[in-house]
């Protein structure tokens, strides 16, 4: 298992609620996402909604990963936009080169797209996928427009909790969720992570964590 996940389990085992840097957005407790534990794998995951159809995404939390990525195999959204290679947005998300697809266009399969490298810590492998943008929705009615993320393929989710279809990276990068929220709302870059018991529900407060 990768060191980033070891760090996550170490800190989660010691602290009931730990604070790190992310975004302070309205309402006063900011962007709030739930946290649950998969007892079988000891993985902590969150649930969010993405795109015009508000597709439910369960994503394993990793303090060392750089950005959000998830399986787009059944993902549909009218607000999904691939990030073109050699564009200013591609430069901002630190993509490199172009990736294409020889199948019918759909989320995760587009031409002339900025290359992303989602990392699978359980396989210790980097994959080549395309960066895209879409809207993230939270249960406390926050919307994060044009959030950069990467698609992934379901068959590469080896080692993940069966309920999860992706990963939420919370590292200090320009394209992590907390940094994007901070930039879009012109707010401080901080977050608070409160972990649950085996059967409880914790929270991620992105901005204004208590």
Cβ neighbours for 160, distance < 8 A, ≥ 6 positions apart? 41, 43, 60, 122, 167
Paired tokens of 70: 């998830």
What string of H, E and C letters represents the secondary structure of 36-82?
EEECCCCEEEEEEEECCCCEEEEEEEECCCCCEEEECCCCCCCCCEE
Can you tell me the mean pLDDT for 69-74?
Answer: 94
Q: Across the chain, what does the average pLDDT equal?
A: 85
DSSP, res 154: G
How many percent of the chain have pLDDT more than 90? 63
Bridge-based pairing state of the strands 143-152 and 68-71: parallel
pLDDT attached to residue 187: 72
Nearest CA to 131 out of 152, 145, 104, 161 is that of 152
Phi-psi region of 176 (alpha: psi -120 to 50; beta: other; left: phi over 0): beta
Can you tell me the mean pLDDT for 34-49?
Answer: 97
Paired tokens of 171: 């590292």
pLDDT attached to residue 162: 96
Distance CA 68, CA 178 (A): 11
Nearest CA to 13 out of 161, 195, 193, 209 is that of 195
Q: Is the pLDDT of residue 133 over 90?
A: yes
Can you tell me the mean pLDDT for 44-60?
Answer: 97
pTM for the model: 0.83
pLDDT attached to residue 29: 55
pLDDT attached to residue 107: 95
Nearest CA to 150 out of 107, 182, 179 is that of 107
pLDDT attached to residue 19: 40
What's 3-206's CATH class?
Answer: mainly beta
Q: How confident is the model at residue 139 (pLDDT cuts 50, 70, 90)?
A: confident
How many percent of the chain have pLDDT more than 70? 84
Nearest CA to 136 out of 194, 184, 93 is that of 184
């Amino acid at each position: 298992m990768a060191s980033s996940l070891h760090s996550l389990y170490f800190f989660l085992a010691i602290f009931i609620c730990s604070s790190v840097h992310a975004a302070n957005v309205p309402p006063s407790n900011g962007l709030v996402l739930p946290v649950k534990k998969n007892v079988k794998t000891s993985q902590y995951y969150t649930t969010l909604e993405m795109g015009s159809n508000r597709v439910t995404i369960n994503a394993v939390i990793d303090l060392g990963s750089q950005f959000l990525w998830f399986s787009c195999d059944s993902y549909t959204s009218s607000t999904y936009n691939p990030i073109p290679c050699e564009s200013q947005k591609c430069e901002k998300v630190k993509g490199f080169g172009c990736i294409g697809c020889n199948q019918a266009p759909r989320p995760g399969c587009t031409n002339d797209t900025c290359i992303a490298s989602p990392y699978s810590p359980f396989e210790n492998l980097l994959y080549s996928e395309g960066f895209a943008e879409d809207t993230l929705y939270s249960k406390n009615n926050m919307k994060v427009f044009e959030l950069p993320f990467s698609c992934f393929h379901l068959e590469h989710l080896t080692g993940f909790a069966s309920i999860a279809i992706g990963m939420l990276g919370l590292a200090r990068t320009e394209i992590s969720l907390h940094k994007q929220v901070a930039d879009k709302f012109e707010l401080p870059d901080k977050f608070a992570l409160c972990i649950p018991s085996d059967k409880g529900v914790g929270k991620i407060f992105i901005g204004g964590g208590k």
